[in-house]
Amino acid sequence: MPLPPLVQPAEALSVDEIRRYSRHLIIPDVATAGQKRLKNARVLCVGAGGLGSPAMMYLAAAGVGTLGIVDFDTVDESNLQRQVIHGQSDVGRSKAESAAASIREINPLVQVVIHNTALDRDNVFEIFRGYDLIVDGTDNFATRYLVNDAAVLLGKPYVWGSIYRFDGQASVFWAGEPANGPCYRCLYPEPPPPGMVPSCAEGGVLGVLCASIGSIQVTEAIKLLTGVGEPLVGRLMVYDALEMSYRTITVRKDPQCVLCGPNATQTELLADYEDFCGAVSEEAVSATLGATITATELKEWQDAGKDLFLVDVREPAEYEIVRIPNSVLIPKGEVVSGEALARLPQDRQIVLYCKSGVRSAEALAAVKAAGFRDAVHVQGGVLGWVRLVDPSLPAY
């Protein structure tokens, strides 16, 4: 179903703008009227990361008048493989500032608004109200549900994308008028159980996948702003880079949706989205109480000659990149399923670690439940080891 343009056209284009956007102006469906709508448009990108990078670069080049950026993170070397809006000299710099500088270089006519903050329930409405459309480039479930809930409660459309390894998804969620489409909760009513879906930091992502999905998001944003084509409302685009296939799946509005259904019970934001998505399960949290050591303490134990059985619960590819010396690899799945428990010695101190401490907490719960009551895990994982003990090792 075609939708009316989201934005009214601006008054007029300057000579500079006509020169710059001429390849848009000669497309009959865009033309001067469409370009004037883009000039008047206010688009917010949540996250200046993998998806936000190509999205903002193309939104800026396309002539979107005002581009907002929400990000509180700083540029890390491990971002540069895919977050192409940032460069080598931006490492350590605020991502929002770095992205703003790139946007100004691509198109100085764009007004850039920096929100150098973490989006939360206290600021999301105020920030979202200033924009016509949201582009969601977040990489975690807590922020994703927050973005969805705020957008639905404000009746605003947002373009969502998600990436993992070689797979990507994108859709337009717009539960309000005139689209009356489904929202993210119609598709995914509940977040996955903690630890079930690895993040890109844990599972990896092919860098160029960000461009494939980010460019779909920009295409949808431009279509909505200018009112051309068939928007991706009520459809989920699924991209498989290995098969090189795109398929679309119909997503219906869920009549039981707590947020946008006819009998919706959720009329405001949740109190705590981190809690709703449960970064770590309750079993894992209680297992780690009194059973957590720092990387520095682990080093002291090793130096003192303590009889340790140090278990790396990450995946083999991660173990190859960097590991704590004298560790053995037993991926978390084998620990949690119980199949690897027989490999754990009864008479040695068991120490578990992963990348950052989440997976090892889950594994610790399983190990302790199997009777290894003295087992501990390393706070901050191998990244903590690199930071506190051996900075010559690579972080990833």
Which of 115/185 has CB closer to Zn ion?
A: 185
Please state, in angstroms and rounded to a whole number, the distance separating the CA atoms of residues 197 and 5: 36
What span, in angstroms and rounded, lies between the C-alpha atoms of 175 and 266? 14
> DSSP assignment of 148-211, as one string?
HHHHHHHT--EEEEEEEBTEEEEEEE--STTT----HHHH-SSPPPTTTS--HHHH-B-TTHHH
Please tell me whether residue 295 binds Zn ion under the rule CB under 5 A: no
- 260 catalytically annotated: no
Assign 12 to helix, strand or coil: coil
In the bound state with Zn ion, the residue whose beta carbon lies nearer, of 252 and 306, is: 252
Q: How far is the CB of 263 from Zn ion (least distance, A)?
A: 12
Among positions 57, 134, 142, 186, the unique one binding Zn ion when judged by CB under 5 A? 186
CA 118, CA 71: separation in Å to the nearest integer?
6
- Shorter beta-carbon distance to Zn ion: residue 60 or 260: 260
Shortest spacing between CB 385 and Zn ion, in angstroms: 43
Pick the piece of the chain touching Zn ion (CB under 5 A) from 44-52, 87-95, 184-192, 232-240: 184-192
Quick note: the x/- pattern for Zn ion over 34-63, rule CB under 5 A, is ------------------------------
Half-sphere exposure of 235 (CA within 13 A, CB side): 13
Nearer to Zn ion, 58 or 145 (CB): 145
* Minimum gap (Å) between residue 186 Cβ and Zn ion: 4
- Shortest CB 262 distance to Zn ion, Å: 11
> Which range of residues in 18-26, 46-54, 254-262, 377-385 is near Zn ion by CB under 5 A?
254-262
Identity of the residue, 276 or 396, whose beta carbon is nearer to Zn ion in the bound complex: 276
Out of 209, 216, 233, 257, the residue judged to bind Zn ion by CB under 5 A: 257
Q: How far is the CB of 183 from Zn ion (least distance, A)?
A: 3
Is 200 an active-site residue?
yes
Residues 144 to 183 in contact with Zn ion, rule: CB under 5 A: 183
* Residues 258-277: x where in contact with Zn ion by CB under 5 A, - otherwise, as a string: -xx-----------------
Residues 261, 253: contact at Cβ < 8 Å? yes
Binding residues with Zn ion: total (CB under 5 A): 6
Phi, psi at 266, each rounded to 5° = -95, 110
Least Å from the CB of residue 255 to Zn ion: 10
- Cα 90 from Cα 98, distance rounded (Å): 6
Nearer to Zn ion, 185 or 223 (CB): 185
Which of residues 24, 156, 185, 359 is near Zn ion by CB under 5 A?
185
Please tell me which residue in 200, 210, 257, 277 is annotated as part of the active site: 200
- Cα 171 versus chain centre, distance: 15
Q: DSSP string covering 254-267, please?
A: PTT-TTTSTT----
Q: Which is nearer to Zn ion, 82 or 185 (CB)?
A: 185
CB contact at 8 A, 355 and 202 = yes
Given a contact cutoff of 8 angstroms between Cβ atoms, the answer to whether 299 and 292 are in contact is no
* Residue 149 CB, nearest approach to Zn ion (Å): 10
Half-sphere exposure (CA, 13 Å, Cβ side) for 66? Answer: 15
| CB proximity list for 295: less than 8 A, separation 6 or greater | 324, 378, 379, 380, 384, 385, 387, 388, 389
C-alpha 92/C-alpha 19 separation (Å) is 36
The residue number whose beta carbon is nearest to Zn ion equals 257
Q: Which stretch binds Zn ion (CB under 5 A): 232-240, 253-261, 346-354, 362-370?
A: 253-261
Given the residues 257, 260, 277, 354, select the one marked as catalytic: 354
Closest among 367, 360, 363, 348 to 385, alpha carbons compared:
360
Report the interface residues with Zn ion, using CB under 5 A. Answer: 183, 185-186, 257, 259-260
Write out the catalytic residue numbers.
200, 354
